[in-house]
Structures are given as C-alpha cells and as structure tokens.
Amino acid sequence: TVTSNAAKLSIEKSQATLKITGQPQDVKAEVGSTTSVSVKAEGEGLKYQWQVSSSNGERWGNTSLAGAKTNILQLVAPSNYNGRLYRCVITDKNGNTIITNPAKLTVTE
C-alpha cells in the first residue's frame, strides 16, 4: 500500500444563495380594475423580469407592464386577460437564475 501526503480541506462561508421566500399568489380582479402580483426573494443584486403566458404555461414571454422589472407587477385587468399566468424570473449578481411558480389572473365582470 501507498499513503499520500495529507491534504487540507478549507470550507469558506458560502455567499448568500438566491431563493424565493414568497411565491406570487393567484389574483382575482374586476374588469378594468388595477391589481398586482408580487414576489419576495433573497440574494444579492437581484434583477426581476415578469413573464406572461396566455397558453396555460406552454409559452412564456417577457411583459412590459408597469413593474415588469421589479418585484411587484401591476396591471389593469381587461376581460381578455382572464386566465393569463404570470411568473417572475429572478437573477442575482452572479448570474444565478430562479423562476417563481405561476400566478393565475381571474378577471370577473
């Protein structure tokens, strides 16, 4: 048998990890009213981009609604927005990305 020299293992405190602490919740809004969807996340240098799907989550696209690049997305609810899904892509300063669960908008008359 052969024995190697000892190796030293150093464990550094890891940087804050990117995590979602509050998922967006489904919302109901009357036609023409203003509502919002929000997310809470932890990490350094967070950037937000809200996305919308009108295909029940099959396809997603960035939205340009008010707050699309913040943690709170605001929208006026026209009747044709009923059933749309909204999610947020969050990126930290190191380029790590996490995506929220989708929130469903229900528009009522």
Q: Each residue of 31-71: pLDDT tens digit?
A: 999 999 999 999 999 999 999 999 999 999 999 988 999 99
Q: Each residue of 5-17: pLDDT tens digit?
A: 877 766 655 556 8
**For every residue of the chain, which 3-state class applies, written as one string?**
CCCCCCCCCCCCCCCCCCEEEECCCCEEEECCCEEEEECEEECCCCEEEEEEECCCCCCCEECCCCCCCCCEEEEECCHHHCCCEEEEEEECCCCCEEECCCEEEEEEC
Whole-model pTM? 0.84
